[in-house]
């Protein structure tokens, strides 16, 4: 793996078996080290850890006519990767918080986006920009 900055993110879950099935099977992430209270995952080269912990309160903010769950985390994918994942999740019967759609169509930052919850209720967003140069566009 190239020596590039990577993030480390820890997310609370209330059931490690459900987390293992969702992140390992549904999303297809490679599992790393684990213990009785946590599991490391390879999230596109980033260290993502699910820790056994109680759930937290959820709120949302309005964005482009949708109630976006806060907090949330996710990945910026290529459009092709996004379409493959969206089809996989749809085929698996995933219940989306916000179904895959194009946000900010024709504007700066145009992007495909979708939101879903893991089994512990953590919100995930996956997105893909029509033009990667627009990721931080104003």
Whichever domain contains 48, its CATH number is: 3.30.720.120
DSSP element (H, E) containing 85: helix 79-91
- Could you report the per-residue pLDDT of 32-80, keeping only the tens digit for each? 999 999 999 999 999 999 999 977 777 888 898 999 988 888 899 999 9
User: Cα(60)–Cα(69) distance, rounded to whole angstroms?
Assistant: 4
User: Could you tell me if residue 59 is inside a domain?
Assistant: no
Mean pLDDT across the chain: 91
41 within 8 A of 50, measured Cβ to Cβ: yes
On whether both 102 and 127 belong to a single domain, the answer is yes
**Cβ count near 11 (within 10 Å):** 19
* pLDDT for position 59: 86
On whether both 72 and 43 belong to a single domain, the answer is no
Residue 137: pLDDT above 80?
Answer: no
* pLDDT for position 80: 96
Domain that includes residue 29, residue range: 8-52
CA triple 28-80-120, angle to 5 deg: 35
């Amino acid at each position: 793996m190239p020596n590039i900055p990577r993030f480390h993110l820890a997310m609370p879950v209330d059931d490690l078996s459900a987390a293992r099935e969702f992140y390992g099977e549904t999303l297809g992430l490679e599992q790393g080290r684990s213990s009785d209270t946590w599991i490391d995952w390879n999230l596109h080269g980033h260290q993502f850890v699910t820790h056994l912990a109680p759930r937290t309160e959820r709120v949302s903010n309005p964005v482009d006519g949708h109630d976006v769950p806060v907090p949330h985390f996710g990945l910026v994918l290529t459009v092709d990767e996004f379409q493959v994942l969206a089809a996989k999740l749809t085929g698996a019967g995933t219940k989306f918080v916000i179904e895959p759609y194009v946000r900010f169509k024709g504007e700066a930052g145009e992007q495909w986006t979708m939101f879903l919850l893991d089994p512990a209720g953590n919100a995930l967003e996956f997105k893909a920009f029509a033009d990667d140069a627009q990721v931080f566009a104003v």
